[in-house]
Chain A
Protein backbone atom coordinates (compact mmCIF):
# COMPACT_ATOMS: atom_id res chain seq x y z
CA UNK A 1 0.00 0.00 0.00
CA UNK A 2 2.72 2.44 0.91
CA UNK A 3 6.40 2.18 0.29
CA UNK A 4 8.63 3.54 2.92
CA UNK A 5 9.89 6.98 2.08
CA UNK A 6 7.38 7.80 -0.62
CA UNK A 7 5.08 10.68 0.12
CA UNK A 8 2.40 9.55 -2.26
CA UNK A 9 -1.11 10.39 -1.20
CA UNK A 10 -3.15 7.49 0.07
CA UNK A 11 -6.16 6.99 -2.17
CA UNK A 12 -9.23 5.96 -0.27
CA UNK A 13 -10.18 2.81 -2.19
CA UNK A 14 -11.29 -0.71 -1.31
CA UNK A 15 -7.75 -1.91 -0.66
CA UNK A 16 -7.12 0.93 1.76
CA UNK A 17 -10.45 0.25 3.41
CA UNK A 18 -9.39 -3.33 4.06
CA UNK A 19 -6.09 -2.17 5.48
CA UNK A 20 -7.83 0.36 7.71
CA UNK A 21 -10.03 -2.37 9.08
CA UNK A 22 -6.99 -4.50 9.79
CA UNK A 23 -5.32 -1.61 11.56
CA UNK A 24 -3.05 1.07 10.13
CA UNK A 25 0.61 0.50 11.03
CA UNK A 26 1.67 2.99 13.66
CA UNK A 27 4.24 4.87 11.57
CA UNK A 28 1.72 5.52 8.79
CA UNK A 29 -1.23 6.27 10.98
CA UNK A 30 -1.03 10.08 10.99
CA UNK A 31 -0.55 10.27 7.25
CA UNK A 32 -3.33 7.85 6.43
CA UNK A 33 -5.75 9.59 8.77
CA UNK A 34 -4.97 12.92 7.12
CA UNK A 35 -5.61 11.46 3.65
CA UNK A 36 -8.62 9.23 4.16
CA UNK A 37 -10.54 11.63 6.43
CA UNK A 38 -10.34 14.53 4.04
CA UNK A 39 -8.41 16.58 6.60
CA UNK A 40 -5.48 17.13 4.26
CA UNK A 41 -7.82 18.28 1.52
CA UNK A 42 -9.45 20.75 3.92
CA UNK A 43 -6.05 22.04 4.95
CA UNK A 44 -4.92 22.55 1.35
CA UNK A 45 -8.16 24.25 0.34
CA UNK A 46 -8.05 26.74 3.20
CA UNK A 47 -6.09 29.94 3.15
CA UNK A 48 -2.43 29.63 4.02
CA UNK A 49 -1.62 29.42 7.73
CA UNK A 50 -5.29 29.28 8.62
CA UNK A 51 -4.55 27.55 11.92
CA UNK A 52 -1.93 30.10 12.89
CA UNK A 53 -4.23 32.94 11.94
CA UNK A 54 -7.01 31.56 14.11
CA UNK A 55 -4.65 31.47 17.06
CA UNK A 56 -3.62 35.07 16.53
CA UNK A 57 -7.09 36.49 15.96
CA UNK A 58 -9.56 36.21 18.81
CA UNK A 59 -13.27 36.30 18.09
CA UNK A 60 -14.64 39.85 18.25
CA UNK A 61 -17.23 38.80 20.78
CA UNK A 62 -15.36 39.21 24.07
CA UNK A 63 -17.89 37.17 26.05
CA UNK A 64 -17.52 34.29 23.64
CA UNK A 65 -13.73 34.43 23.94
CA UNK A 66 -13.86 34.51 27.72
CA UNK A 67 -16.20 31.56 27.96
CA UNK A 68 -14.23 29.59 25.38
CA UNK A 69 -10.87 30.07 27.07
CA UNK A 70 -12.28 29.58 30.54
CA UNK A 71 -14.02 26.31 29.73
CA UNK A 72 -11.02 24.88 27.89
CA UNK A 73 -8.59 25.85 30.65
CA UNK A 74 -10.84 24.23 33.25
CA UNK A 75 -10.37 20.90 31.51
CA UNK A 76 -6.63 21.08 30.67
CA UNK A 77 -5.44 19.65 33.98
CA UNK A 78 -8.22 17.11 33.86
CA UNK A 79 -7.23 15.61 30.51
CA UNK A 80 -5.08 12.48 30.87
CA UNK A 81 -3.68 13.66 34.22
CA UNK A 82 -1.53 10.53 34.46
CA UNK A 83 -0.16 10.66 30.93
CA UNK A 84 3.48 11.65 30.55
CA UNK A 85 2.63 14.19 27.83
CA UNK A 86 -0.02 15.96 29.84
CA UNK A 87 0.83 15.70 33.50
CA UNK A 88 3.53 18.35 33.72
CA UNK A 89 1.32 21.41 33.53
CA UNK A 90 1.04 24.03 30.84
CA UNK A 91 4.32 25.80 31.56
CA UNK A 92 6.49 22.75 31.14
CA UNK A 93 8.42 22.37 27.87
CA UNK A 94 7.66 18.68 27.82
CA UNK A 95 3.95 19.20 28.12
CA UNK A 96 1.51 19.06 25.25
CA UNK A 97 -1.03 21.04 27.27
CA UNK A 98 -0.23 24.24 25.41
CA UNK A 99 -0.85 22.51 22.08
CA UNK A 100 -4.07 21.10 23.44
CA UNK A 101 -5.20 24.57 24.48
CA UNK A 102 -4.28 25.93 21.04
CA UNK A 103 -6.08 23.25 19.06
CA UNK A 104 -9.26 23.56 21.08
CA UNK A 105 -9.16 27.37 20.98
CA UNK A 106 -8.58 27.36 17.22
CA UNK A 107 -11.47 24.98 16.75
CA UNK A 108 -13.79 27.09 18.89
CA UNK A 109 -12.95 30.20 16.86
CA UNK A 110 -13.30 28.28 13.59
CA UNK A 111 -16.70 26.95 14.64
CA UNK A 112 -18.18 29.45 17.13
CA UNK A 113 -21.67 27.92 17.17
CA UNK A 114 -20.10 24.79 18.67
CA UNK A 115 -17.29 26.41 20.61
CA UNK A 116 -15.81 24.00 23.09
CA UNK A 117 -17.63 20.92 24.28
CA UNK A 118 -16.27 18.61 26.95
CA UNK A 119 -15.07 15.41 25.33
CA UNK A 120 -13.21 17.26 22.57
CA UNK A 121 -10.35 17.58 25.04
CA UNK A 122 -9.85 13.81 25.05
CA UNK A 123 -10.10 13.56 21.28
CA UNK A 124 -7.62 16.37 20.66
CA UNK A 125 -5.26 14.95 23.28
CA UNK A 126 -5.21 11.51 21.68
CA UNK A 127 -4.73 13.11 18.27
CA UNK A 128 -1.73 14.96 19.68
CA UNK A 129 -0.23 11.76 21.02
CA UNK A 130 -0.64 9.91 17.71
CA UNK A 131 -0.26 12.64 15.08
CA UNK A 132 2.01 15.01 17.05
CA UNK A 133 1.81 18.01 14.67
CA UNK A 134 -0.76 20.41 16.23
CA UNK A 135 -1.85 21.87 12.91
CA UNK A 136 -2.67 18.45 11.50
CA UNK A 137 -4.51 17.59 14.71
CA UNK A 138 -6.59 20.72 14.28
CA UNK A 139 -7.58 19.71 10.76
CA UNK A 140 -8.39 16.17 11.83
CA UNK A 141 -10.61 17.56 14.58
CA UNK A 142 -12.33 19.76 11.98
CA UNK A 143 -12.82 16.80 9.64
CA UNK A 144 -14.35 14.81 12.48
CA UNK A 145 -16.70 17.42 13.85
CA UNK A 146 -17.57 19.27 10.63
CA UNK A 147 -17.89 16.29 8.29
CA UNK A 148 -17.65 12.83 9.82
CA UNK A 149 -19.68 12.87 13.03
CA UNK A 150 -23.36 13.69 13.53
CA UNK A 151 -24.08 16.83 15.59
CA UNK A 152 -22.73 15.46 18.89
CA UNK A 153 -21.20 18.67 20.15
CA UNK A 154 -23.68 21.38 19.24
CA UNK A 155 -25.45 23.27 22.02
CA UNK A 156 -28.50 21.00 21.82
CA UNK A 157 -26.37 17.85 21.34
CA UNK A 158 -29.13 16.67 19.05
CA UNK A 159 -26.96 14.18 17.17
CA UNK A 160 -25.83 12.58 20.41
CA UNK A 161 -29.32 12.32 21.85
CA UNK A 162 -30.59 10.81 18.61
CA UNK A 163 -27.71 8.34 18.71
CA UNK A 164 -28.82 7.14 22.15
CA UNK A 165 -32.28 6.40 20.76
CA UNK A 166 -30.69 4.65 17.76
CA UNK A 167 -28.79 2.40 20.14
CA UNK A 168 -32.03 1.71 21.98
CA UNK A 169 -33.74 0.72 18.73
CA UNK A 170 -30.86 -1.45 17.55
CA UNK A 171 -30.34 -3.25 20.85
CA UNK A 172 -34.06 -3.95 20.97
CA UNK A 173 -33.68 -5.61 17.59
CA UNK A 174 -30.34 -7.37 18.00
CA UNK A 175 -30.08 -8.17 21.71
CA UNK A 176 -33.67 -8.00 22.96
CA UNK A 177 -32.85 -9.59 26.33
CA UNK A 178 -30.40 -6.79 27.05
CA UNK A 179 -32.92 -4.11 26.17
CA UNK A 180 -35.47 -5.86 28.34
CA UNK A 181 -33.11 -5.58 31.31
CA UNK A 182 -32.49 -1.92 30.54
CA UNK A 183 -36.24 -1.31 30.42
CA UNK A 184 -37.01 -3.23 33.60
CA UNK A 185 -34.35 -1.38 35.59
CA UNK A 186 -35.10 1.92 33.86
CA UNK A 187 -31.54 2.53 32.65
CA UNK A 188 -31.52 4.97 29.74
CA UNK A 189 -28.66 4.48 27.27
CA UNK A 190 -27.77 8.12 27.88
CA UNK A 191 -26.54 7.07 31.26
CA UNK A 192 -24.06 4.45 30.11
CA UNK A 193 -23.30 5.19 26.47
CA UNK A 194 -23.21 8.97 25.96
CA UNK A 195 -19.55 9.10 26.91
CA UNK A 196 -18.71 6.45 24.30
CA UNK A 197 -19.82 8.78 21.53
CA UNK A 198 -18.79 12.13 22.98
CA UNK A 199 -15.25 10.85 23.60
CA UNK A 200 -15.16 8.44 20.65
CA UNK A 201 -14.33 5.70 23.16
CA UNK A 202 -11.30 7.50 24.60
CA UNK A 203 -11.25 7.01 28.38
CA UNK A 204 -13.91 4.32 27.96
CA UNK A 205 -11.54 1.64 26.72
CA UNK A 206 -7.92 2.20 27.81
CA UNK A 207 -5.85 3.66 24.98
CA UNK A 208 -3.02 1.20 25.66
CA UNK A 209 -5.26 -1.57 24.37
CA UNK A 210 -5.21 -0.09 20.83
CA UNK A 211 -8.93 -0.79 20.51
CA UNK A 212 -9.71 2.94 20.35
CA UNK A 213 -7.13 3.60 17.65
CA UNK A 214 -8.40 0.66 15.61
CA UNK A 215 -11.94 2.04 15.80
CA UNK A 216 -10.59 5.45 14.77
CA UNK A 217 -8.77 3.89 11.78
CA UNK A 218 -12.18 2.86 10.46
CA UNK A 219 -13.90 6.02 11.63
CA UNK A 220 -11.67 8.30 9.57
CA UNK A 221 -12.15 6.18 6.47
CA UNK A 222 -15.69 4.85 6.69
CA UNK A 223 -17.45 7.40 8.82
CA UNK A 224 -19.48 7.36 12.00
CA UNK A 225 -21.29 4.08 11.37
CA UNK A 226 -18.37 2.24 12.93
CA UNK A 227 -19.13 4.01 16.22
CA UNK A 228 -22.55 2.37 16.26
CA UNK A 229 -20.91 -0.95 15.43
CA UNK A 230 -18.38 -0.53 18.23
CA UNK A 231 -21.11 0.41 20.71
CA UNK A 232 -23.17 -2.63 19.74
CA UNK A 233 -20.07 -4.79 19.94
CA UNK A 234 -19.39 -3.60 23.49
CA UNK A 235 -22.98 -4.41 24.39
CA UNK A 236 -22.61 -7.83 22.75
CA UNK A 237 -19.56 -8.52 24.91
CA UNK A 238 -21.10 -7.45 28.21
CA UNK A 239 -24.42 -9.14 27.48
CA UNK A 240 -23.90 -12.10 29.87
CA UNK A 241 -22.91 -9.71 32.66
CA UNK A 242 -25.90 -7.44 32.02
CA UNK A 243 -28.31 -10.36 32.05
CA UNK A 244 -27.16 -11.37 35.52
CA UNK A 245 -27.60 -7.83 36.92
CA UNK A 246 -29.97 -7.33 39.82
CA UNK A 247 -30.74 -3.64 39.60
CA UNK A 248 -29.86 -0.35 38.03
CA UNK A 249 -26.63 0.24 39.95
CA UNK A 250 -25.47 -3.21 38.85
CA UNK A 251 -26.13 -2.40 35.23
CA UNK A 252 -24.34 0.93 35.45
CA UNK A 253 -21.34 -0.72 37.09
CA UNK A 254 -21.26 -3.46 34.45
CA UNK A 255 -20.92 -0.85 31.75
CA UNK A 256 -18.21 0.95 33.72
CA UNK A 257 -16.28 -2.32 33.80
CA UNK A 258 -16.09 -2.29 30.01
CA UNK A 259 -12.57 -0.93 30.51
CA UNK A 260 -11.54 -4.28 31.99
CA UNK A 261 -13.37 -6.62 29.62
CA UNK A 262 -10.74 -8.87 28.03
CA UNK A 263 -12.62 -9.35 24.75
CA UNK A 264 -12.93 -5.60 24.32
CA UNK A 265 -9.27 -5.06 25.21
CA UNK A 266 -8.24 -7.58 22.55
CA UNK A 267 -8.34 -5.17 19.61
CA UNK A 268 -8.09 -7.81 16.87
CA UNK A 269 -10.90 -9.89 18.27
CA UNK A 270 -12.99 -6.81 18.98
CA UNK A 271 -12.65 -5.42 15.46
CA UNK A 272 -13.54 -8.80 13.97
CA UNK A 273 -16.64 -9.01 16.14
CA UNK A 274 -17.49 -5.43 15.24
CA UNK A 275 -18.12 -6.34 11.62
CA UNK A 276 -19.75 -9.72 12.29
CA UNK A 277 -21.85 -9.58 15.44
CA UNK A 278 -23.51 -6.29 14.59
CA UNK A 279 -24.74 -7.36 11.15
CA UNK A 280 -27.00 -6.75 9.38
CA UNK A 281 -26.59 -3.00 9.60
CA UNK A 282 -26.83 -1.12 6.34
CA UNK A 283 -25.89 2.49 5.82
CA UNK A 284 -29.41 3.24 4.54
CA UNK A 285 -31.09 1.71 7.59
CA UNK A 286 -28.84 3.62 9.96
CA UNK A 287 -29.52 6.86 8.12
CA UNK A 288 -33.26 6.28 8.46
CA UNK A 289 -32.97 5.44 12.15
CA UNK A 290 -30.93 8.56 12.84
CA UNK A 291 -33.35 10.79 10.98
CA UNK A 292 -36.39 9.28 12.66
CA UNK A 293 -34.96 9.72 16.15
CA UNK A 294 -33.66 13.18 15.49
CA UNK A 295 -37.13 14.23 14.45
CA UNK A 296 -38.69 12.63 17.53
CA UNK A 297 -36.35 14.52 19.84
CA UNK A 298 -36.89 17.81 18.06
CA UNK A 299 -40.63 17.39 18.46
CA UNK A 300 -40.20 16.54 22.15
CA UNK A 301 -38.06 19.64 22.68
CA UNK A 302 -40.61 21.79 20.92
CA UNK A 303 -43.41 20.43 23.11
CA UNK A 304 -41.33 21.03 26.22
CA UNK A 305 -40.52 24.62 25.36
CA UNK A 306 -44.17 25.32 24.54
CA UNK A 307 -45.12 23.99 27.95
CA UNK A 308 -42.44 26.18 29.53
CA UNK A 309 -43.73 29.27 27.76
CA UNK A 310 -47.27 28.56 28.90
CA UNK A 311 -46.33 27.96 32.51
CA UNK A 312 -44.41 31.19 32.94
CA UNK A 313 -45.82 33.86 30.66
CA UNK A 314 -44.53 36.62 32.92
CA UNK A 315 -40.89 35.94 32.05
Chain B
Protein backbone atom coordinates (compact mmCIF):
# COMPACT_ATOMS: atom_id res chain seq x y z
CA UNK B 1 0.00 0.00 0.00
CA UNK B 2 1.68 3.12 -1.14
CA UNK B 3 -1.24 5.44 -1.10
CA UNK B 4 -0.69 9.05 -0.40
CA UNK B 5 -2.64 8.73 2.80
CA UNK B 6 0.32 6.87 4.29
CA UNK B 7 2.71 9.75 4.23
CA UNK B 8 0.72 11.79 6.64
CA UNK B 9 3.05 14.20 8.44
CA UNK B 10 2.08 15.99 11.66
CA UNK B 11 -1.62 15.78 12.45
CA UNK B 12 -3.17 19.07 11.51
CA UNK B 13 -5.74 20.46 13.91
CA UNK B 14 -8.13 21.62 11.20
CA UNK B 15 -8.01 19.09 8.40
CA UNK B 16 -10.57 19.68 5.74
CA UNK B 17 -13.08 17.05 4.75
CA UNK B 18 -14.64 16.87 1.29
CA UNK B 19 -17.67 14.67 0.93
CA UNK B 20 -18.45 12.95 -2.37
CA UNK B 21 -21.61 11.03 -3.09
CA UNK B 22 -21.51 8.45 -5.85
CA UNK B 23 -24.87 7.73 -7.36
CA UNK B 24 -25.99 5.91 -10.46
CA UNK B 25 -27.94 2.99 -11.82
CA UNK B 26 -27.51 -0.51 -10.45
CA UNK B 27 -24.40 -2.34 -11.54
CA UNK B 28 -22.62 0.54 -13.29
CA UNK B 29 -19.69 0.09 -10.91
CA UNK B 30 -20.05 2.67 -8.18
CA UNK B 31 -18.78 0.37 -5.46
CA UNK B 32 -15.84 -0.84 -7.54
CA UNK B 33 -14.89 2.70 -8.48
CA UNK B 34 -14.77 3.96 -4.91
CA UNK B 35 -13.23 0.75 -3.59
CA UNK B 36 -10.46 0.92 -6.18
CA UNK B 37 -9.71 4.51 -5.31
CA UNK B 38 -9.69 3.96 -1.54
CA UNK B 39 -7.98 0.58 -1.31
CA UNK B 40 -6.09 0.37 -4.60
CA UNK B 41 -7.72 -2.98 -5.29
CA UNK B 42 -10.43 -4.37 -7.53
CA UNK B 43 -13.23 -6.36 -5.95
CA UNK B 44 -14.04 -9.22 -8.25
CA UNK B 45 -17.24 -10.29 -6.54
CA UNK B 46 -19.25 -7.44 -5.21
CA UNK B 47 -22.64 -7.72 -3.62
CA UNK B 48 -25.36 -5.21 -4.35
CA UNK B 49 -25.02 -2.19 -2.09
CA UNK B 50 -28.05 -1.78 0.13
CA UNK B 51 -28.66 1.69 1.47
CA UNK B 52 -25.41 3.60 1.68
CA UNK B 53 -21.81 2.56 2.15
CA UNK B 54 -18.89 4.70 3.08
CA UNK B 55 -15.17 4.84 2.25
CA UNK B 56 -12.47 7.45 2.67
CA UNK B 57 -8.94 8.31 1.69
CA UNK B 58 -6.49 11.11 2.38
CA UNK B 59 -5.31 13.00 -0.67
CA UNK B 60 -2.66 15.59 -1.17
CA UNK B 61 -3.97 18.63 -3.02
CA UNK B 62 -1.27 21.23 -3.66
CA UNK B 63 0.47 20.35 -0.44
CA UNK B 64 -2.66 20.27 1.67
CA UNK B 65 -3.80 16.93 3.05
CA UNK B 66 -7.51 16.63 2.53
CA UNK B 67 -9.80 13.84 3.59
CA UNK B 68 -12.06 12.68 0.78
CA UNK B 69 -15.17 10.91 2.04
CA UNK B 70 -16.84 8.84 -0.63
CA UNK B 71 -20.47 7.89 -0.13
CA UNK B 72 -21.41 4.87 -2.16
CA UNK B 73 -25.16 4.56 -2.62
CA UNK B 74 -27.54 1.82 -3.70
CA UNK B 75 -28.44 2.04 -7.37
CA UNK B 76 -32.11 1.25 -7.15
CA UNK B 77 -34.34 4.25 -7.61
CA UNK B 78 -36.43 3.81 -4.48
CA UNK B 79 -33.31 3.80 -2.32
CA UNK B 80 -32.00 6.93 -3.94
CA UNK B 81 -35.28 8.71 -3.56
CA UNK B 82 -36.00 7.75 0.00
CA UNK B 83 -32.83 6.67 1.73
CA UNK B 84 -30.44 9.46 0.94
CA UNK B 85 -32.68 12.47 1.29
CA UNK B 86 -30.02 14.49 3.05
CA UNK B 87 -27.67 14.29 0.14
CA UNK B 88 -29.78 13.62 -2.82
CA UNK B 89 -33.46 14.04 -3.41
CA UNK B 90 -33.82 13.25 -7.05
CA UNK B 91 -32.81 10.69 -9.59
CA UNK B 92 -31.84 10.56 -13.20
CA UNK B 93 -31.48 8.31 -16.14
CA UNK B 94 -29.36 9.20 -19.11
CA UNK B 95 -32.26 10.95 -20.82
CA UNK B 96 -33.28 13.16 -17.94
CA UNK B 97 -29.76 13.89 -16.79
CA UNK B 98 -30.04 17.44 -18.23
CA UNK B 99 -33.08 18.13 -16.07
CA UNK B 100 -31.23 16.84 -13.11
CA UNK B 101 -28.27 19.10 -13.73
CA UNK B 102 -30.54 22.06 -14.18
CA UNK B 103 -32.19 21.35 -10.89
CA UNK B 104 -28.88 20.82 -9.21
CA UNK B 105 -27.69 24.19 -10.48
CA UNK B 106 -30.84 25.86 -9.30
CA UNK B 107 -30.54 24.31 -5.90
CA UNK B 108 -26.94 25.36 -5.59
CA UNK B 109 -27.20 28.72 -7.30
CA UNK B 110 -26.24 30.55 -4.12
CA UNK B 111 -22.72 29.25 -4.47
CA UNK B 112 -22.40 29.54 -8.22
CA UNK B 113 -22.97 25.89 -9.00
CA UNK B 114 -21.42 22.70 -7.80
CA UNK B 115 -18.25 21.42 -9.47
CA UNK B 116 -19.01 18.29 -11.48
CA UNK B 117 -17.15 15.52 -13.18
CA UNK B 118 -18.47 13.01 -15.69
CA UNK B 119 -17.08 9.49 -15.50
CA UNK B 120 -17.53 6.69 -18.00
CA UNK B 121 -16.69 3.51 -16.12
CA UNK B 122 -15.94 0.01 -17.47
CA UNK B 123 -13.84 1.34 -20.32
CA UNK B 124 -12.27 -2.14 -20.53
CA UNK B 125 -15.51 -3.28 -22.13
CA UNK B 126 -15.04 -0.97 -25.08
CA UNK B 127 -16.58 -3.28 -27.64
CA UNK B 128 -19.83 -3.27 -25.68
CA UNK B 129 -19.87 0.46 -25.34
CA UNK B 130 -23.11 2.20 -26.30
CA UNK B 131 -22.11 5.71 -25.40
CA UNK B 132 -19.19 6.70 -27.61
CA UNK B 133 -16.55 9.03 -26.32
CA UNK B 134 -17.61 11.88 -28.60
CA UNK B 135 -21.18 11.89 -27.34
CA UNK B 136 -20.04 11.77 -23.77
CA UNK B 137 -17.47 14.49 -24.41
CA UNK B 138 -19.99 16.77 -26.05
CA UNK B 139 -22.32 16.22 -23.16
CA UNK B 140 -19.62 16.95 -20.62
CA UNK B 141 -18.47 20.04 -22.52
CA UNK B 142 -21.93 21.46 -22.76
CA UNK B 143 -22.20 21.26 -19.00
CA UNK B 144 -18.71 22.49 -18.28
CA UNK B 145 -17.46 19.36 -16.65
CA UNK B 146 -14.38 17.27 -17.33
CA UNK B 147 -14.95 13.81 -18.75
CA UNK B 148 -13.05 10.77 -17.56
CA UNK B 149 -13.18 7.31 -19.02
CA UNK B 150 -11.81 4.70 -16.70
CA UNK B 151 -11.90 1.09 -15.68
CA UNK B 152 -12.03 0.17 -12.02
CA UNK B 153 -11.08 -3.34 -13.11
CA UNK B 154 -7.80 -2.71 -14.95
CA UNK B 155 -4.75 -2.36 -12.70
CA UNK B 156 -3.05 -0.16 -15.25
CA UNK B 157 -5.94 2.26 -15.09
CA UNK B 158 -5.51 3.04 -11.41
CA UNK B 159 -3.80 6.35 -12.12
CA UNK B 160 -6.84 7.31 -14.13
CA UNK B 161 -9.19 6.50 -11.26
CA UNK B 162 -7.01 8.57 -8.98
CA UNK B 163 -7.11 11.43 -11.44
CA UNK B 164 -10.91 11.48 -11.27
CA UNK B 165 -11.03 12.05 -7.57
CA UNK B 166 -7.94 14.24 -7.41
CA UNK B 167 -9.40 16.50 -10.07
CA UNK B 168 -12.55 16.66 -8.02
CA UNK B 169 -10.61 17.42 -4.85
CA UNK B 170 -8.76 20.14 -6.69
CA UNK B 171 -11.95 21.66 -7.99
CA UNK B 172 -13.39 21.54 -4.52
CA UNK B 173 -10.41 23.24 -3.03
CA UNK B 174 -10.92 26.18 -5.35
CA UNK B 175 -14.60 26.27 -4.58
CA UNK B 176 -16.39 28.40 -2.04
CA UNK B 177 -18.17 26.69 0.85
CA UNK B 178 -21.71 26.03 -0.17
CA UNK B 179 -23.79 27.08 2.75
CA UNK B 180 -23.07 29.53 5.48
CA UNK B 181 -24.26 27.02 8.05
CA UNK B 182 -21.58 24.50 7.07
CA UNK B 183 -18.37 23.89 8.86
CA UNK B 184 -15.86 26.38 7.46
CA UNK B 185 -13.62 23.42 6.69
CA UNK B 186 -16.21 21.57 4.67
CA UNK B 187 -16.79 21.86 0.95
CA UNK B 188 -19.20 20.50 -1.57
CA UNK B 189 -19.04 19.54 -5.23
CA UNK B 190 -20.32 17.18 -7.83
CA UNK B 191 -19.20 14.41 -10.15
CA UNK B 192 -21.30 12.94 -12.90
CA UNK B 193 -20.54 9.54 -14.18
CA UNK B 194 -21.87 7.41 -17.00
CA UNK B 195 -21.18 3.79 -17.58
CA UNK B 196 -19.35 2.94 -20.79
CA UNK B 197 -20.81 -0.51 -20.84
CA UNK B 198 -24.08 -0.28 -22.62
CA UNK B 199 -25.40 -3.76 -22.39
CA UNK B 200 -27.87 -1.92 -20.23
CA UNK B 201 -29.65 1.17 -21.40
CA UNK B 202 -29.55 4.44 -19.52
CA UNK B 203 -26.47 3.50 -17.60
CA UNK B 204 -25.37 6.58 -15.89
CA UNK B 205 -24.09 7.35 -12.54
CA UNK B 206 -23.77 10.60 -10.84
CA UNK B 207 -21.54 11.62 -8.04
CA UNK B 208 -22.37 14.62 -5.96
CA UNK B 209 -20.31 16.06 -3.25
CA UNK B 210 -22.15 17.63 -0.42
Contacts from A to B (Cβ < 8 Å): 70-71, 74-75, 78-82, 117-119, 121, 154-158, 160-161, 188, 190-191, 194-195, 198-199, 203, 249, 252, 304, 311-312, 315
Contacts and interface: CB of A to CB of B under 8 A. Distances in A.
B74 interface: yes
A252 B54 contact: yes
Contacts of B74: 118
Given A117-B78, A118-B76, A156-B78, A203 B103 contact: no
A5 B69 CA distance: 57
Interface of B: 26-27, 45-48, 50-52, 54, 56, 69, 74-76, 78-79, 81-86, 89, 99, 103, 106, 200
Contacts of B81: 155-156
A190 B79 contact: no
14 contacts: A70-B200, A71-B76, A78-B46, A118-B74, A155-B81, A156-B78, A157-B78, A160-B82, A190-B51, A190-B52, A195-B51, A249-B69, A312-B103, A312-B106
Nearest to B28: A74
A80 B103 CA distance: 38
Nearest to B51: A194
Q: Chain A CB within 10 Å — which of B26, B47, B69 has the most?
A: B47
A279 B74 CA distance: 33
B52 to A, nearest CB: 6
Contacts, number: 76
A311 B75 CA distance: 27
A118 B52 CA distance: 13
Contacts of B75: 118
Given A155-B78, A311-B106, A198 B50 contact: yes
B102 to A, nearest CB: 9
B78 A191 contact: no
A155 B80 CA distance: 10
Given A71-B76, A78-B47, A191-B54, A157 B106 contact: no
A78 B54 CA distance: 19
B48 to A, nearest CB: 5
Nearest to A305: B89
Contacts of A71: 26, 76
A252 B26 CA distance: 23
B45 A82 contact: yes
A74 B78 CA distance: 16
A249 B57 CA distance: 11
B26 to A, nearest CB: 5
A155 B81 CA distance: 9
Nearest to B67: A249
Nearest to B76: A118
B51 A117 contact: no
Contacts of A79: 47-48
B76 A117 contact: yes
Contacts of A81: 45-47
Contact of A191 (B26, B52, B89, B103): B52
A157 B82 CA distance: 7
A147 B48 CA distance: 26
